[in-house]
Every structure is written in C-alpha cells, then in structure tokens.
C-alpha cells in the first residue's frame, strides 16, 4: 500500500506553494499521496504524470488537481519545465469552503473519479500566476524549495513563510479562483489508460522488487521483454532504464537525507541499486548537471 506522504507543515500554515523547475534539480519522487489537496499549474514546458492507472501529460497553461486518494508520480519533465505546486491542508479547506459550489474540494477523491484538469486562457493564466508569484516573494529560497520538493525531504526541513496570514489568505484566493476556472472549463479529454504490464512493472519498481533482468521483468509483468520495453516507452515517454534510474536516484536522495550513519558516496550508490559508482556519477551529471559530491553538498562524503 502506498504510504501517505507527511508534508510536515507547521500548524500556522494552511499549505505551501513553490515554483518547481526541472533546471533546479527537483527530485523525482516515488508514487505517493497526501492528505492535502494539491494544485499544479504548468507555466512552461510540460510534465507527465502517472495518476492511478492512467498517464497524463500537462502542457504550459494547463491546471490540474490531485486529491488525497490519488496516488501520483511525475515520470517525465521537459528540461525547460516550470510549474507551480500548491498544497491546501484540510483545515484551510474547511475554513474556506462553505457553499455547494465548492464542496467537491473537501472530497478525498475527485468528482466522477477522474483527474481534473483544464487549459487556461492567457488572461486567466496571467492572473493565476500573479497570485502565486505574490506568495513566492516571502516563501524562501527557490533552490532549497526545489531540492526539498517544497514540503521537505530532509528530516529537519520545514516550509517557512514570513507572513503566515498573507500566505493563508492568498492560498485561499488561489484555491477558489482556480476552482472557478475549473468549473467553467470544457470537459477534459479522457486520459491514456496504462497497459496492465506497464502498471505491473511500475508496481515492482515502487516496491523495490523489480529484477535487473529485462527478461525476468517481462515475465513478472506478463509481457515479452521487447513488447514491455516498447509499450513502456510509448506510454510513459521514458524508457525502462530511465525510469529505473530515476527510482534509484530518488532512493539515493532519501538515503542521504534519512541515514543516521555516515555513508560514503560509493556506499550510497550501491545501497541505491546502482551497479557501480561510475554509473551513479554519470547519471547525476546527466540528470542534474553536477557530480554526486556537488549534488549532496550539504553533507561531507568520501568517494
């Protein structure tokens, strides 16, 4: 069962907001969900998510919602991608949702069990971005927020904002304004359903039980290795190898930030599933534009 991600927000905050940018090295997280309602607004490039059993690609100008019951995972982002990520706690929702027009925002699952999303007009996109940007001004360093995925992957990190009253007021405005736009939008096209073999492979990766052998992975997923490779790439936009390496990098980040003992970079690489430190080094350079020592600069390592 997918665990609920703890956003670790202080009680005075009704949520958080930050601008996620691939160029800043935002981590690739495993499939997850959380009690807070999440809103994303793509302002540049595109992002591809697996949400439940479907794949969605959201482009610049598109707004999408993730309800507490929805297990989701970003599986691909364009190098130029930028998208606002806002989370709203149950407390903020209860305080601001009072009419039937907005009551769906209190649900654990989206209406009709579909992922809600819509394309904004240029004027509405500009207005939404202005609201969100107002929060960013007093919301902390962009590099740190991206490295911590907003809510904080490091045990000691907590989201901070200089004016909690202002933050909560504007978050409520963002919430209701974007919901108004969603209600007025045309019904979205149905998402692409994922092939059962792709879903099985994703589950194996998520559980950490996916074998290194493509032949064995195909057997466990119920497809030939060739077909599994082809359908996985076609549906997710990334190859099996790229997806597996993203999961390994995510595990390396989690180990680095949660380990109670000192680990060398080589130990971190092997513990994360890499076959060699050289492979780990090469992927870090390719994905983040820096070597592992620079990537994990907050802690001293020996290679």
Angle 164-32-190 (CA atoms, 0-180°, nearest 5)? Answer: 100
Q: The domain 15-192 belongs to what CATH superfamily?
A: Regulatory protein AraC (2.60.120.280)
pLDDT at 303: 37
The residue extents of the domains of the chain are 15-192, 195-295
Tell me the percentage of the chain whose pLDDT exceeds 90: 53
pLDDT of 300: 39
For range 46-50, the mean pLDDT: 94
Task: Tell me which of 18-32, 214-228, 260-274 is least confident.
Answer: 260-274
What pLDDT score does 157 carry? Answer: 86
pLDDT digits (tens, 9 = 90+) for 131-171: 999 999 999 899 999 988 988 877 778 999 999 999 999 99
More confident residue, 271 or 136: 136
Segment 59-80, tens digit of pLDDT: 999 999 999 999 999 999 999 9
Residue 260: what pLDDT? 46
Residue 71 phi/psi, 5-degree rounding, is: -75, 130
Per-residue pLDDT, averaged over 219-247, amounts to 88
Q: What is the mean pLDDT of residues 109-125?
A: 92
pTM over 0.85: no
Report which of 252, 245, 291 is spatially closest to residue 76, judged by C-alpha positions.
245
**Tens digits of residue pLDDT in 194-212:** 899 998 998 888 777 888 8
More confident residue, 108 or 260: 108
| Signed CA dihedral, 122, 105, 1, 154: sign only | positive
CA distance 32 to 19: 19
pLDDT of residue 301: 38
- Tell me how far apart the alpha carbons of residues 194 and 243 are, in angstroms, rounded to a whole number: 15
CATH 3.30.1280.10 correct for 195-295: no
d(CA 280, CA 240): 17
Q: What pLDDT score was predicted for residue 271?
A: 82
The mean pLDDT of the chain is 88
117: β partners? 64
Confidence of residue 108 (pLDDT cuts 50, 70, 90): very high
């Amino acid at each position: 069962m997918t665990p609920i991600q703890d956003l670790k927000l202080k009680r005075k905050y009704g949520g958080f907001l930050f601008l996620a940018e691939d160029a800043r090295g935002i981590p690739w997280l495993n499939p997850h969900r959380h009690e807070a309602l999440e809103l994303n607004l793509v302002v540049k490039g595109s992002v591809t998510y697996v949400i439940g059993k479907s794949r969605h690609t959201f482009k610049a100008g598109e707004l999408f919602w993730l309800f507490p019951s929805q297990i989701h995972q970003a599986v691909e982002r364009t190098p130029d991608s930028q998208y606002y990520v806002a989370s709203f706690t149950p407390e903020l929702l209860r305080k601001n949702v009072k009419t039937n027009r907005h009551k769906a925002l209190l649900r654990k699952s989206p209406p009709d069990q579909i992922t809600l999303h819509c394309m904004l007009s240029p004027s509405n996109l500009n207005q939404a971005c202005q609201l969100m940007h107002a929060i960013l001004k007093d919301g902390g360093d962009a590099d740190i927020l991206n490295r911590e995925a907003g809510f904080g992957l490091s045990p000691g990190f907590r989201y901070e904002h200089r004016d909690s009253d202002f933050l909560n007021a504007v978050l409520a405005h963002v919430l209701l304004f974007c919901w108004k736009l969603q209600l007025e939008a045309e019904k979205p096209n149905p998402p692409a359903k994922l092939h059962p073999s792709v879903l099985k492979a994703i589950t194996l990766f998520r559980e950490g039980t996916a074998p290194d052998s493509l032949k064995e992975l195909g057997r466990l997923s119920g497809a030939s290795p060739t077909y599994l490779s082809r359908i996985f790439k076609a549906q997710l936009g990334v190859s099996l190898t790229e997806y597996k390496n993203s999961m390994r990098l995510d595990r390396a980040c989690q180990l680095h930030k949660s380990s109670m003992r000192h680990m060398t970079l080589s130990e971190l690489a092997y513990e994360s599933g890499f076959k060699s430190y050289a492979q780990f080094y090469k992927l870090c350079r390719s994905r983040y534009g820096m070597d592992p020592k620079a990537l994990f600069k907050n802690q001293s390592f020996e290679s």
